[in-house]
Each structure stands twice: as C-alpha cells, then as structure tokens.
Chains A and B, each alone.
Chain A
Amino acid sequence: MSDTLAPPRETRPAATPPPAGRFRKPNWNALLVEGRALIALAIIVVIFASLSPNFLDPSNLILMTRHVAMNAILAIGMLMVILNGGIDLSVGSTVGVTGVIAGYLLQGWDMPLTQLVAYPPVWVVIAASVLIGALVGWVNGVLVSKLNVAPFIATLGMLYVARGIALLITNGETFTKLQGEEGLGNTGFITALASAPLGIPMPVWFMVAFAVVFSLLLNRTAFGRWLYATGGNERAAELSGVPVKRVQTIVYVLSGLCAATVGLLLTADLPAATPRAGEFYELNAIAAVVIGGAALSGGRGTIRGTLIGAFVIGFLVDGLVLVGVSVFWQQVIKGAVIILAVAVDQLQQSLQKRRALRRVAAATNRPGAPRPA
C-alpha cells in the first residue's frame, strides 16, 4: 500500500517519492464549494443588474442587504447546528416568541400576583428576549444531547411549542406600542434596533458583527474545532476527550440566540410584535447554509459560505420582485436555484472523485502479467 501521493513539503522524514504533483492544491476543493455559491451570486447580480437599472443602485443594495441580514443571522445560527450534524426547525418560531416577548414587555408587564404593571427599560427588554431565545435553544439542546431525541423531531416539536407560546402571550393579537414613553423610561427600542448609523441599517451591522464573532468562534477557539470534530465524527471526537454533549447543547443555544436577535430586529423594523412573525424563516436559513456549501451530515461548512448563501437567496427574492417576475414563477425559480446550487455541488464532487480515480488508474493499470494459459 503506498502512502500519500502528495509531495512532501515540510515533512521529515521524507515521504515516499510522489509520482507527480497531481494532488497538490490542498484547498482547491473548499474553494470550489464556496466558489460555486459565489458564481451563483455573480450570475444573479449580473442578470438582475442587466434587467433593472435600479438593482445596483447603492441604496437598493443597502435595502436588499438589510433583507438579507435577517436571514443571514438566522443562517449563522443554523450553520452551528448543521455543523454538528443537527437541524433547527424552531428558529422561525423563536423569532416570533422573542419578538412578542419584547413587545409584551414594552407595552407593560402585568406582574403576576400584584396590581402593578412594570415597564422595564429597553436594555432589560432586549436582554430578556435574548435570554428567552437562548432558553428555547437550550431546551432543544438538552432534548437532543441528553434525551437523544432526533434533532428534526425535537426542534419540530419546539417549532409548535414556541409558536403556541407566542400566541398565548399575545392572545393572537399584535403589539404595536413599541415606542415606549419618556416618563416610563422605556423609549429607544426602535431607535436602537431599526436605525441606520452611517447609513447602514442596524440589521446589517448585526450581521457583520455576528459573522465576525462566529468566524472567530469557529476558526480560532477550541469550541469551534470541537464542533467540526463532533460533526465530522462524533465517536472519534468523544474518545479524544471532546465534550460532545456540551458542544451539542451549545450549538442549539447559539442558534436560539441568533433567532432572538432576528426576532428583536424584525420587531423593531415593522415596528410591531406579531405572533406569526418568522413563520417559515427556518427554511430560508437552511437553504442559505446548504447553498453555502455546508454538509447536512455535519462537519463541513463555513460562515463565509453561509453568508454568500444568504445573499444568493435574498438577492434572488428581491431581484425577482424588482424586475417584476410573476409571483408564481418567483417560487419556481427560487426552488430551482436551491436545488441547482446543491446538485451542482454533488455533481462536481463526484466528477472530481472520478477524475482522480481515472488518473490513478491510468498510472497503475499498465500491462500486467502474461495471461495464464
């Protein structure tokens, strides 16, 4: 059995002399996977830019990026879960429930057992909502890691539970008095989350911040490495001393945090807290992650790819509206792009594998032994 065919670089002792430098370019594969999403994005931009003069208008780009940001933040959380080999179907409902909790607290909280109505300051409102989002994620995480409920089932259940809680809190209604009152000291929610410092909308700032923080988390911390390892091979990770259960719980908490952030941003953007906010958002988030080159089986995927995936979906959806494609075609096209992006990935991988095999075969398969008899 021969060893790797790759040429030795800094290795001592020297490896077997390689027959040729064929298997160089170590990151070629990774580049292609992300490159594919990038190509899709480029195609979308070129097509829409040629169809609509408004598409590349800076203010339109900012507007579309704001739309993308919501999905991108959700997708970043979803990526954590998918890297772990799981899935989080509850993020849309978490968006709803956290937004509603923020709205509820801003309208005034009827404290139980008292006649008092509390008007917590905005930072408390935000912290409470984020905590609730983390709590929802934590419950998901415990269900999956400790009770061994399949992620699909655990988070599907949570999808209903969280949505139901949002409805219970609002009794089906929409909270619209989110601006607060000076006298109560709870103003500023909308300004904090829906303003546009330096002309860039808050959701975009948040998206950038989340991307940076989660990139660092994935690439520079032990947790990030552990996450890739558990997604790649949980048993091996466990035997290497990786706290696989804790990692598994934490990814759902992170996803819950991202969803809560989106819940707050969306509520401030409308500005209204509606219990149905975020319905089906989980599907767009999953699509962004997958278009970005992540493997649903876990262990493979990047923040950068996920962001590109979110831009592909967001620019596509907005671009179709901008050029006025009919409503029904919009859905067909969106679905086709998702399928195409992922199918091309699979095709590319198997082609690469086949090509590599063929090359090796050509090198190995030389005239053999004299045929017996």
Chain B
Amino acid sequence: MTQVAERPANAEPDADVVLRAVDITKTYGVTRALKGVNFDVRRGKVTVLFGENGAGKSTLMKILSGVEQPTGGVLELDGEPVVLASTNDAVARGIAIIHQELNLCPNLSVRDNIFIGRELRTRRGDVDYAREARITRELMERLEEPIHPSTLVADLRLGQQQIVEIARALAADARILIMDEPTSALSAAEVEVLFKIIDDLTADGVAIVYISHHLEEAIEVADHAVVFRDGELVADRSAEGLTLPWVVAAMVGREAEYDFTGAAREFGEVALRIEDVRVVDPDAGGRLAVDGVSIDVHAGEIVAVYGLMGAGRTELMEALSGREPIASGRAVLGSTDLAGHSIQERIALGIGLVPEDRQRDGLVQLMTVGQNLSLASLLGAVRRGFVSRKHERGGIDDQIRDVRVKTAGPEALITSLSGGNQQKVVIGKMLLTRPKVLLLDEPTRGIDVGAKGEIFSLLFREAERGLAVLYVTSEIGEALTASHRVVVMSKGRVVREFDPRTCTREEVMAAAGEAGGDVHPKEPDSE
C-alpha cells in the first residue's frame, strides 16, 4: 500500500533549504495520514501546499510545528536532524504556526497574547510590561496595523487577530512561519494586507509555508508549490508555469470521477419552499446571517448552495433543520409550515440535516456503526416499548448496503471507519428516517475524491426516487458537476441561480464575490 513519493528533479544540494522533511510517515490508529513524505522549505520563499482535505497537508503542518511527532522519518533543520517534541520546542528553533482557528486568548490584551508563555522578565523577576508593550508597538508598526498593545483581542476584527498571531510568531523570532488557511476569515482588503506582509517577511529571509483552499490566491502568493494527495507528495514545481489546471490536475490525480450534469431532470412538486427567510447570527447578536432567502426545492431535485464562508449558508441549513430559529419568513415542507416544530418533529415530517462538522455534530464516537445508523430512526424499530433487534438490524443492514459503507460490520466502532465512510453513515442515518427533503452542509468536506463520487451517486439515486436535496458546498467544481441547480449566496442573500449545464465557473465565482479585484487573474481551468 505504501508508495514512495516520486522525488522531483531538483535533488542537488540547496543552501536555501532551512527545513527538510525526510521520508516522514504518520499514522493515526488505522489511518495513514502521511506515507513517506519528502519536503523542503526554503529561506525567503513561500512554499504553498496544495491538496484536498485529508490529503495530509494539515498533518504535515502539525509535525513541522511540533504539535505532533512523526511515526517515522526525520526532520532536518539547517541540515541537522531535529526532534520537535512540542510547539514550544519548535518555537524555540524558530518555527511558528498560525492555525486556521486562531489560538488567542480573547480576554487578554494584544501585548499579553503576543508574549503569552514567553513573558519578558525584569531583573526582579516580574513581568516587564513596558518592554513588552514597546516591542508589541514596533511589531504592529512593522505589520502596518497600529493596534494599541493593551487592546483586548476580543475587540479586534478577525483580520486584525490574524495579524496579532503573525506578530506573536515574529516576536518569537520565527524563521519559518507556517500559515494554515490564513485568509479563510479575511476580507479582500485584509487579504491584500496579508500578502504584502508576506512579501515583506520573505524579503527579510523568513521562510513561509502556506496552505489555502483558495487555489487562485495561493497560486498568486506561491514561490514554490507542492501537491499532496492521499498522504503523499505527488507533484512539486516552482512558481514559473504554476497554473490552476496544473494544480487541480495534480490534486485530483485524474479528472473528477463524477459528473452528474446529465442526470435525469424529472422533478415533482415543490418539496421545500423557503420564503424570505431571515436568521439571526447566533454568534453576533442582531446581525442577520441569512437575510431574506427564498429557494424552492422540488422533489427529485438536487440544489447546490454555493458561496464563500460567512455567506450564511450554514445558518440557513441550521434554521431549516430546527436547530436555530427562523427570525422571519417561512419554510414550508410540502404543505406544513416548519415554524414551531422541533428537530425531532421535523425529522418525522421528513426533513433532516447532515451537518457540516461530522465529528462534532454527526457522529456518536462511542457507538458502533449500526447504532449510529439507526439513531435517528430508532422509534420506527420499537415494538411494544422495546427496540426490536430484528427491525433495527434490518434497517441497518439495508443501509450499509445501500450507501456502501465499508465496514467490518454493524458492530464495528464508528471511529474505525475512514472519513468518507463515516460520512456515508451520517447520510445513511438520515436516509433511514425516510426524508422528503435532505439538507447537507458541506457533505464532502474532508473526504477523498472517490468517496465524494459515491456520495453524489447516492444522492442522485435517491433524487430519482423523489428525494429533494439541498446542499451547501464551497467547492465550485462540485457545485457545477453534482447538482441540478446552483444557488449562489453572498452576505446572507441569494444573489443568483445558475443552471450547471450552461454556466461557467467564472460566472458562478464572480456571483459569489470571490473573483473581485485582481486576486484571481488566472485562466479558467479544466476539470
């Protein structure tokens, strides 16, 4: 099963290489996240890591930053083998990581966050706040974000918080800065600032390792690109000639296996009518996350909701599922207004959600595959007050077969499955409730291409049987190849609808507000 990553041509010694990963492997339980990766980080360069979710990028980052230790292989820093036993260890050697989820204490000031764990001391041994504040001010000036050192982090915008993270790395004299999805929460203007900072840092000789799902953005910033797939480094090239098609082809390794644009289009009645729905952002009181959305979904139809993070898609899904209240407007299932119905009642009525975060919201990790599958439909198997093993098992077996879960059996622990199979279980669980409308939030997040195709085949098969599907996706290719209709959301509103058979990728991305400015000048890709 193990393949050796092909080593790209540039094998001659390279004085610019500050950090080298040699034949790194990493396993979690039964999952092999990295299978012998060789990888260089160069001084003053931005090395971009491409790869789909689950390809092994994040795992490699965790190893480079000391969060985790490799199962096998060696890290070399300046040509010397090192062991990074902890993040502190890594920081001490000049390697800092800025995580996708910011690691700041919101209740502390900017200054305190920058020096947390490495407080400067006076000679008497107490914290030298004055010096800390001075250094903080200098750093913020260098980063062109004049935030006062005693500002609380909670009071900063996300973009500013990211800059505080960068300042923290710089304060630790980081020579190698790892940025994991640094732009996911930033506005376009903030992204510009970030890129300028990256330019400045590389000019100063800092090596940057950059990961982003925004391929175009990442291509722009890259000096060097490597592509991961299934735990292996599969391609590697300099910025010269780096194009989106090359990246996509390398990431996918083949053309996407699925294309459902030709699927049957025989729709029934309107199964779910969303009328002018507004949803309050649960995290930011008063702000509307969903601001007047209307969508009709017909029986047998698969509608993809495409948009950027923060467009209000997840909030729409949660409101439809019953987890968050609908502030105004109506959602009507068949002829039933969903208002006032609990999640349980909505599932009984025929609408259920497959949530975005599988681990947090989708699975009960302590339970078996079978118990997870039957959880939502358990009442259907109750006979005379007790769960009938026969009826429960029947449904489980059918569903394992139907959604093609690869498992040792219903008794296997759910955590023994791969991400794709876990997702199939979550979907299978909702299908067992015999829904009329299935909501899915990022159904293919973090699963491999093959499983994605299987999941969409499954959805299209169910759609042919009359299921209405409304799903959220951030992957443009997915929206265009696996839906009957694409609805684009931006800032809480539906901005446009497209027929995936006739629209172009650029039109859709432009509608989502993604291709504004000159950030994405790259040519249309294939796929």
Give the B-binding residues of A (Cβ under 8 A). 1-13, 15-16, 19, 23, 26, 216, 220-222, 225-226, 228-229, 231-233, 235-243, 299-300, 356-357, 360-361, 364-366, 368-373
Contact = CB atoms under 8 A, between A and B. Distances in A.
B408 A15 contact: yes
B194 interface: no
Closest 6 A/B residue pairs (Cβ):
A368-B23, A365-B72, A6-B408, A241-B347, A232-B364, A240-B376
20 contacts: A1-B230, A2-B32, A3-B417, A4-B418, A7-B408, A19-B1, A221-B386, A222-B379, A225-B375, A228-B364, A229-B375, A233-B365, A236-B362, A299-B367, A357-B29, A365-B25, A365-B71, A366-B2, A368-B36, A370-B7
A11 B433 contact: no
B406 interface: yes
A240 B344 CA distance: 7
Contacts of B35: 364
Interface stretch (B155-163, B237-245, B352-360, B517-525): B352-360
Nearest to B40: A372
B407 interface: yes
Nearest to B392: A225
Contacts of A300: 366
B409 interface: yes
A368 to B, nearest CB: 3
A3 B418 contact: yes
B277 interface: no
B371 A225 contact: yes
B31 interface: yes
Interface of B: 1-2, 4-5, 7, 11-14, 20, 22-23, 25, 27, 29-33, 35-36, 38, 40, 54, 71-73, 230-231, 321, 323, 342-344, 346-348, 352-353, 355, 360-367, 371, 374-376, 378-379, 382, 385-387, 397, 400-401, 404-409, 411-413, 416-421, 429, 433, 448
Contacts of A2: 1, 30-32, 418
A239 B323 contact: yes
A3 B421 CA distance: 8
B30 A4 contact: yes
B367 to A, nearest CB: 6
Contacts of A16: 406
A232 B433 contact: no
Contacts of A241: 343-344, 346-348, 352, 376, 433
Nearest to A365: B72
Nearest to B342: A243
B62 to A, nearest CB: 15
A1 B323 contact: no
B324 to A, nearest CB: 12
B343 A233 contact: no
B285 to A, nearest CB: 17
A3 B406 contact: yes
A237 B371 CA distance: 11
A364 B366 contact: no
A221 B11 contact: no
B417 A4 contact: yes
A226 B364 CA distance: 11
B409 A360 contact: no
Contact of A5 (B23, B30, B385): B30
Contact of A26 (B4, B412, B421): B412
Nearest to B447: A1
A26 B411 contact: yes
Contacts of B353: 239
Given A2-B31, A225-B387, A13 B366 contact: no
Nearest to A18: B408
B386 A361 contact: no
Given A221-B385, A239-B343, A369-B4, A360 B29 contact: yes
A216 B386 contact: yes
B27 A361 contact: yes
With a 10 A CB-CB cut-off, give which of B27, B72, B379 has the most chain A CB atoms. Answer: B27
A221 B321 CA distance: 25
B364 A229 contact: yes
A295 to B, nearest CB: 8
Nearest to B32: A364
Given A3-B417, A236-B364, A371-B22, A11 B406 contact: yes
A4 B424 CA distance: 14
A1 B448 contact: yes
A361 B71 contact: yes
B13 A373 contact: yes
Nearest to B358: A236
A182 B442 CA distance: 72
Contact of B71 (A226, A233, A237, A364): A364
> Max chain A CB contacts within 10 Å: which of B29, B54, B371, B375?
B375
Contacts of B371: 225, 228-229
A360 B342 CA distance: 44
Contact of A228 (B2, B11, B366, B417): B366
Contacts of B418: 1-4
B358 to A, nearest CB: 9
A231 to B, nearest CB: 8
A247 to B, nearest CB: 11
Contacts of B342: 243
Given A4-B30, A368-B36, A228 B367 contact: yes
Given A1-B419, A241-B433, A371-B22, 18 more contacts: A1-B448, A2-B32, A4-B408, A4-B417, A5-B30, A6-B416, A8-B406, A220-B387, A225-B378, A228-B366, A229-B375, A240-B347, A242-B376, A243-B344, A361-B72, A368-B25, A372-B7, A372-B40
A236 B429 CA distance: 11
